Chains A and B, each alone.
Chain A
Amino acid sequence: MSDTEQSVRPSIKRSPEALQEAEEQFLIQEQQDPASPYYRGDTPSPSCSSPPARRRFMLGAMAALGAAGAQGIAHAATPGAIERKVPPDATKIQGVGVGVDDGGYGMRSQFETEVRVRYATKTTESSWSFTPLQNSMGMITPSGLHYERHHGGIATIDPGTHELFVHGMVKQARKFSMADLRRYPALSRIMFMECSGNGLTEWAKPTMKTVQGTHGLTSTSEWVGVPLSTILNEVGLKPGAKWLLAEGGDAAVMTRSIPLEKAMKDCLLAYGQNGEAIRPEQGYPVRLFVPGYEGNMSIKWLRRIEVSDKPFMTREETSKYTDLMPDGTALQFSFLMEAKSVITFPSGEMVLRKPGFYEISGLAWSGRGAVKRVEVSVDGGKTWKNATLHGPVLPICHTRFSLPWEWDGKEAILQSRCTDETGYVQPTIKQLVKERGIYSVYHLNGIQSWKVAANGEVSNVHHY
């Protein structure tokens, strides 16, 4: 997350503004879809009064489906789905035969439309996309909806020729084919990964309208691979080794320095995700996974590890993923993703149609370990109630929480606050701004506030 916020002053505004426009287009269409959480039905609202109603399959600018939907071509498929004819009564006609139209790889329902949304950076190759948390269920993110951050596009790599070199301060430099890596004893862990730029638009004021825009750079998958310690043991570390460089085989040849202590503790060379090979956009055929640390360190398309005594001070860990403080100095190697939570339902731009029962639901996570407690407030932080944590509650993993709520039809401010197993408590945005100012870009883990207006409309607000 580093190509827009620096350098030219006007560009600081350009991208968020473009994204806001894209979000607005997305909402205009969702607001007319009865199945969408953003449905406004006959409730007039300024944003849905102008353009004509469109079919729900037309996701518009956000999904980048393009002109096909706009021209009303019948049954343009929603991404990841096969568009099938809907019979008037499915009990009176045979359904689709096994393997007839899916080629043996199952698709989601044509009625499910949520997609990742790209941030409007100057190029599509150096860009990122957000997970649609507003529709998320449970704790796992479908692989196709896992957030993305690429610095030189999605590399296309043949696993049959891919090699991982491990060298530097090692006793025997070696290279490993994918077949080699897969021979090692494997390990599986369900873990979240979050971009340190998650929420970068929200420091000074509420900017994005939906939870996808404010929090969508976090996702959870089951990751399968070889512990990095196994490979480092294989090559043998020389005395004095303290860091390693991880290098990607993409066009950015993305590099980060990783402390050796962390590498030996719990890092993974991941080739599996949610029961199958990792997706190209997640680093196929193999990526580094650095549990609990900022996502960009989990180098994708991993092709090289160089062990050294000192950090390499690469572009990404000096000029980019560093956190500028008000005194003009910057925090470097701010690895850890600290405890955070967000209510995904109800969340920004949704509408509660009438007073009554609602289940407040959301996600909590911490790079330090397991979530111990999530508290929810419906009165802007005056009083808090413990939410139910839905197991399994795993370390360094999204944890689903919920709280039953009777909405009385009056204005309410919904907030969630996470405490992890180390006792760390998620701070308010105000506390973070007081300490770090508004220009540190990264690591915003403050408490999110959603305002429910008396008419049921939910919006993103800053409320302390």
Chain B
Amino acid sequence: MSITTKHLACAAVLALVSVTASAKDAPAAGKKTSSPHTYGFGTPVTEADLTQFVSPLPDGRGLPKGSGTVMQGEKVYTQQCLACHGANLEGGIGDRLLGGRGTLAASSGGPPIKTVESYWPYATTLFDYIKRAMPFTSPNSMSNDDVYAVTAYILNKANIVKEDAVMNQDTLPKVEMPNRKGFKPAGR
């Protein structure tokens, strides 16, 4: 092998190595991240197209307009929720909603009772979930007012808000849930 061909061979090997290295460095999705490529597929949407969706954040952003009282909520609960969650919110086919404070630590001696009252860290989550997924037999059928109302009712029964509480996009994010500080990021 002449010096020239040796050099060429070396260059070829180097080129191969660099190709392998760059393939290895690429993200698992296999796409370049340096200069994002766009294709122009899909259709632009406006705010009006998005009003059908509800997904509030704990600070209240994304909560829709509307309001409801505890008393209104009792009516809604009786009609929409009681069959599965029980007359005393004790659960049945649906989850138990009340009680359980003080049962989360092993030192309490028994299995933990995880309910809206004892476990849920954010009141906005209650509105969000009821709005999207309840009642089980006809999900996403309740008005925003009714959802605010039944949220108020459950929070009142859980001794978290007073009987004269009105829940709306301003008051709901301010509700301090008993287990608000009960969570920490797992870090994995």
Chain A residues contacting B41 (CB-CB under 8 Å) are 176, 180, 183-184, 234
- Decide if the interface of chain B is mainly helix, strand, loop or mixed: loop
Taken together as a complex, chains A and B put the C-alpha atoms of A395 and B133 apart, in Å, by 36
Contact B57 A165 (CB under 8 A): no
- What per-residue 1/0 map shows which CB atoms of A247-269 lie under 8 Å from chain B? 10001110100000000111110
- Residue A407 interfacial (CB < 8 Å): no
Taken together as a complex, chains A and B put the C-alpha atoms of A177 and B120 apart, in Å, by 36
Contact B96 A8 (CB under 8 A): yes
- Residue B105 interfacial (CB < 8 Å): yes
Q: Max chain A CB contacts within 10 Å: which of B106, B184, B188?
A: B188
Contact A329 B184 (CB under 8 A): yes
Contact B91 A234 (CB under 8 A): no
Chain A residue nearest to B140 in the complex (CB) = A253
- Residue B95 interfacial (CB < 8 Å): yes
Chain A residues contacting B185 (CB-CB under 8 Å) are 331-333
Interface size on B, residues (CB 8 A): 62
Question: Would A313 and B121 be within 8 Å (CB), given that A233-B36, A332-B185 are in contact?
Answer: yes
Taken together as a complex, chains A and B put the C-alpha atoms of A174 and B188 apart, in Å, by 32
- Residue A327 interfacial (CB < 8 Å): yes
Contact A265 B28 (CB under 8 A): yes
Chain A residues contacting B58 (CB-CB under 8 Å) are 310, 312-313
Question: Would A8 and B91 be within 8 Å (CB), given that A253-B132, A312-B56 are in contact?
Answer: yes
- Residue A135 interfacial (CB < 8 Å): no
Taken together as a complex, chains A and B put the C-alpha atoms of A433 and B156 apart, in Å, by 36
CB contact between A318 and one of B39, B125, B186 (< 8 Å): that residue: B125
Taken together as a complex, chains A and B put the C-alpha atoms of A320 and B175 apart, in Å, by 20
- Residue A172 interfacial (CB < 8 Å): yes
Chain A residues contacting B46 (CB-CB under 8 Å) are 173
Question: Would A334 and B124 be within 8 Å (CB), given that A6-B114, A122-B93, A245-B55 are in contact?
Answer: no
- Residue B90 interfacial (CB < 8 Å): yes
Chain B residues contacting A327 (CB-CB under 8 Å) are 105-106
Q: Max chain B CB contacts within 10 Å: which of A174, A247, A330, A332?
A: A330
- Residue B21 interfacial (CB < 8 Å): no
Question: Would A313 and B114 be within 8 Å (CB), given that A251-B139, A319-B120 are in contact?
Answer: no
Chain B residue nearest to A267 in the complex (CB) = B29
Chain A residues contacting B107 (CB-CB under 8 Å) are 326, 328
Chain B residues contacting A122 (CB-CB under 8 Å) are 93
Q: Max chain A CB contacts within 10 Å: which of B95, B116, B122?
A: B95
Taken together as a complex, chains A and B put the C-alpha atoms of A230 and B33 apart, in Å, by 9
Chain B residues contacting A334 (CB-CB under 8 Å) are 186, 188
Chain A residue nearest to B133 in the complex (CB) = A252
- Residue A315 interfacial (CB < 8 Å): yes
Contact B111 A7 (CB under 8 A): no
Taken together as a complex, chains A and B put the C-alpha atoms of A268 and B31 apart, in Å, by 12
Chain B residues contacting A236 (CB-CB under 8 Å) are 36, 38
Contact B122 A331 (CB under 8 A): no
Contact A324 B49 (CB under 8 A): no
Instruction: Return A309 CB to nearest CB of chain B, in Å.
Output: 9
Contact A6 B115 (CB under 8 A): yes
Chain B residue nearest to A320 in the complex (CB) = B114
Chain A residues contacting B182 (CB-CB under 8 Å) are 328-330
- Residue A29 interfacial (CB < 8 Å): no
Taken together as a complex, chains A and B put the C-alpha atoms of A205 and B103 apart, in Å, by 22
What are 13 A-to-B residue pairs whose CB atoms are below 8 Å? Answer: A6-B113, A9-B111, A152-B136, A165-B53, A176-B42, A227-B29, A266-B27, A315-B129, A318-B125, A319-B114, A324-B104, A328-B104, A336-B188
- Point out residues on B near A: beta carbons under 8 Å: 27-31, 33, 36-39, 41-46, 49-50, 53, 55-59, 90-91, 93, 95-97, 100, 104-108, 110-116, 119-122, 124-125, 128-129, 132-133, 136, 139-140, 182-186, 188
Given A234-B38, A236-B38; 16 other pairs, CB 8 A cutoff: A8-B90, A11-B91, A165-B45, A172-B44, A175-B45, A175-B49, A177-B42, A234-B41, A252-B139, A253-B132, A306-B53, A315-B133, A318-B120, A328-B105, A333-B185, A439-B111
- Point out residues on A near B: beta carbons under 8 Å: 3, 6-9, 11-12, 122-123, 125, 151-152, 165-167, 172-177, 180, 183-185, 187, 189, 227-230, 233-236, 245, 247, 251-253, 255, 264-268, 291, 304, 306, 308, 310, 312-315, 318-319, 322-324, 326-336, 338, 395, 437, 439
